[in-house]
Structure 1
């Protein structure tokens, strides 16, 4: 059975929601938890995610969603993990204590991974819209899912691209030591070496996810004269890094995963972005079948929040809708009842068909390659 997204009438649905939805006293209340960094260096990404969740919740309520013959009122409970693992587990426990019916989050792998055990022990399904570390779905938890490709697909594809398309002979790698940053960097190196076993890894350098000064690292990299600099981390660090690369005269291609592949990067990098210098990949990809629905979402998102989608909001929207789809199929919002339906879901989302494998990874995960020109993110293509 395939349940399709109702994205086409989204703008009208949201208008109805703002006009005021009416709920009876005996309506079923379904609580969806959302966790992301609403504070800290990646707060702009966390807010983007939260808004994607709001879009889904408002649409579900506006159309009068029914579960098991009862009208449902969906409520969004948002927690801030600040991108910090300790804060992330505290946020997860708060949602468990609030008896949420499902969780969308966390944004970062470093927070999703420790939180996963808390949700698993409570029997609450968790879908991450953006965590790519392979460890996230390798812990054997039946309640853990993601709707994006993992680091093996993401970093490996970029590594192979560096060798096959960019003809890189020497690479330098920097990561921020987070679960995501280190994982995607490791997979990039593996991917590059799979196509050129003797490729020269000039340097492997490390920073952190709050750093702003990279002169020592970049000076060493400049001396090594790499063809490609790969950064495993987020846009808030990549932006200043690009500015300092330009100041030092480093003209190597700058590559990275979805963490840097945001519409916010040009603002964060200022004049540090040179046309076609940055090549990155988003851990998902919309093909023709879902393109119109995805485009409609972006129009509605901008109308609702007065801002463009930064990166993950459509995946958050799909995650909420996938939870709701499983509940409708199970005729229950009880996690123990609808979890088997979630494990076997086939949801027609705006980011693609959402089907999970036995580990909770998205099946046939796609990647979208981008570069930047004239301060704008420009599509290069969708690959698998």
Structure 2
């Protein structure tokens, strides 16, 4: 009995010692906070959660490598805040992230939130990498802290306008926008793209981002015999717009950019979504350099498909981490300076920024709904040779 007791005490001592070593190691680790601002409640909550999931995967992958900054062990933690897709709320939660001393921020999702929030981050000197805000005005403010991980609307509008005129051969083009900074910005750049390619927009109609009944505006459009309708807005509105067009027997192509291509659109539009065409910034997941591996990792972790922008949130968070480890510092000024010169391979493609903070050489993809699914029609821009697996 004595031998057993002694052995047991020895074993407990070993376990206790190991526990103390583990606790000491955990105490030695510095917790480094990275912020994420996205709509986590409300109509766009599914997209916000998708962004949060993507950002979290980047931190998980980094933490698995037992990272260090300046030779000291660190652990990354994501601080996710809900901007509710509301500009005023975006400013409030931006200040909350600043007060929590995050080293950088992934966010916001839409340009209407990214622009006002960017002023808060600029004042604090904190880097902000927008994973999906495509309004060019976000990076036109002159803030050296503002970056984006996908192309902006000026380029997508030009591509979409050229596609409408040259490929779809549209001659009677009507534009609808939802008067948001996102929708109006897309519409403006699309019109410029049409006109620069020799096309003509015969009408420009307006709704708001709460419109659900498009009967009035579509009745007007039907009388003009439009053969293409461009909508500046997001998927939740594009779907009922597509349905109503079919019900009114408007035989025009519905074309959009940035915000259509999602599972939500397919579910809401149903069979009436067939033939809808859209341009989305970035490559399709299976054509991203690390897309297939990321998709498998995402599904295994969250038991659901990617909603929309998770790979871009992953790259935004991973790029902040790369800057911290490259500089060996969490100093805001050093991180911002590093981001302006960084060049790394991400899930979505090469991550490097121009002087404004825009992604260099961004890719865009043309999709069309075929047999109830989004099918890739063409990939424009970007380095199409980037197909290596992550």
- TM exceeds 0.5? yes
Measure the CA separation in 1 of the matches of 2:63 and 2:24.
9
Residue 310 (structure 1) shift: 1.7
In structure 2, relative to structure 1, the CA distance for the partners of 1:245 and 1:302 (3 Å cut) is same
Match of 1:106 among 105, 108, 118: 108
Q: How does 1:22-33 map to 2 (within 5 A)?
A: 24-33=26-35
In structure 2, relative to structure 1, the CA distance for the partners of 1:286 and 1:215 (3 Å cut) is closer
**Contact 1:52/1:317 (CA < 8 Å) preserved in 2?**
yes
Measure the CA separation in 2 of the matches of 1:295 and 1:224.
44
Residue 369 (structure 1) shift: 1.3
Secondary structure of 1:51 counterpart: helix
Do residues 322 (structure 1) and 324 (structure 2) align?
no
1:175 alignment partner in structure 2: 177
In structure 2, relative to structure 1, the CA distance for the partners of 1:337 and 1:312 (3 Å cut) is same
Residue 213 (structure 1) shift: 1.1
Which is further off, 61-70 or 170-179? 61-70
| 1:266-308 deviation line (CA, Å, top 9, x unaligned) | 012123212xx211112112699x7452111011111111111
Measure the CA separation in 1 of the matches of 2:323 and 2:240.
42
Measure the CA separation in 2 of the matches of 1:281 and 1:30.
37
Q: Which runs of 5+ in 1 are unaligned?
A: 1-19
Measure the CA separation in 1 of the matches of 2:304 and 2:340.
34
Which is further off, 215-224 or 112-121? 215-224
**Contact 1:286/1:350 (CA < 8 Å) preserved in 2?**
no
Residue 381 (structure 1) shift: 2.0
Measure the CA separation in 2 of the matches of 1:271 and 1:81.
33
Q: How does 1:237-276 map to 2 (within 5 A)?
A: 237-274=237-274
Residue 258 (structure 1) shift: 1.4
In structure 2, relative to structure 1, the CA distance for the partners of 1:173 and 1:23 (3 Å cut) is farther
1:77 alignment partner in structure 2: 79
1:377 alignment partner in structure 2: 374
CA RMSD of superposed structures (Å): 1.8
Measure the CA separation in 1 of the matches of 2:114 and 2:126.
14
Measure the CA separation in 2 of the matches of 1:221 and 1:96.
47
Could you list the structure 1 runs, at least 4 aligned residues long, displaced by more than 3 angstroms after superposition.
Answer: 20-23
Residue 33 (structure 1) shift: 0.6
**Contact 2:184/2:232 (CA < 8 Å) preserved in 1?**
yes
Secondary structure of 1:240 counterpart: helix
Match of 1:346 among 343, 351, 360: 343
In structure 2, relative to structure 1, the CA distance for the partners of 1:135 and 1:297 (3 Å cut) is same
Measure the CA separation in 2 of the matches of 1:207 and 1:302.
37
Match of 1:307 among 290, 304, 309: 304
Measure the CA separation in 2 of the matches of 1:309 and 1:250.
32
1:11 alignment partner in structure 2: none
**Contact 2:289/2:349 (CA < 8 Å) preserved in 1?**
no
In structure 2, relative to structure 1, the CA distance for the partners of 1:356 and 1:218 (3 Å cut) is same
Residue 180 (structure 1) shift: 1.0
Secondary structure of 1:282 counterpart: strand
Residue 246 (structure 1) shift: 1.4
| 1:35-91 deviation line (CA, Å, top 9, x unaligned) | 111122222111111111111111111221222112211111111111111111111
Measure the CA separation in 1 of the matches of 2:156 and 2:267.
24
**Contact 2:289/2:346 (CA < 8 Å) preserved in 1?**
no
Measure the CA separation in 2 of the matches of 1:251 and 1:271.
15
2:205 alignment partner in structure 1: 205
| 1:327-361 deviation line (CA, Å, top 9, x unaligned) | 11100122122221111000100101011001000
Match of 1:187 among 189, 194, 199: 189
Residue 241 (structure 1) shift: 1.1
Match of 1:332 among 329, 342, 350: 329
| 1:202-251 deviation line (CA, Å, top 9, x unaligned) | 22111122221111111111111111111111111111111111111112
Q: Which has the larger radius of gyration?
A: 2
Q: Which runs of 5+ in 2 are unaligned?
A: 1-21, 382-390
Measure the CA separation in 2 of the matches of 1:296 and 1:210.
37
Do residues 298 (structure 1) and 300 (structure 2) align?
no
Which is further off, 209-218 or 154-163? 209-218
In structure 2, relative to structure 1, the CA distance for the partners of 1:126 and 1:165 (3 Å cut) is same
Secondary structure of 2:26 counterpart: coil
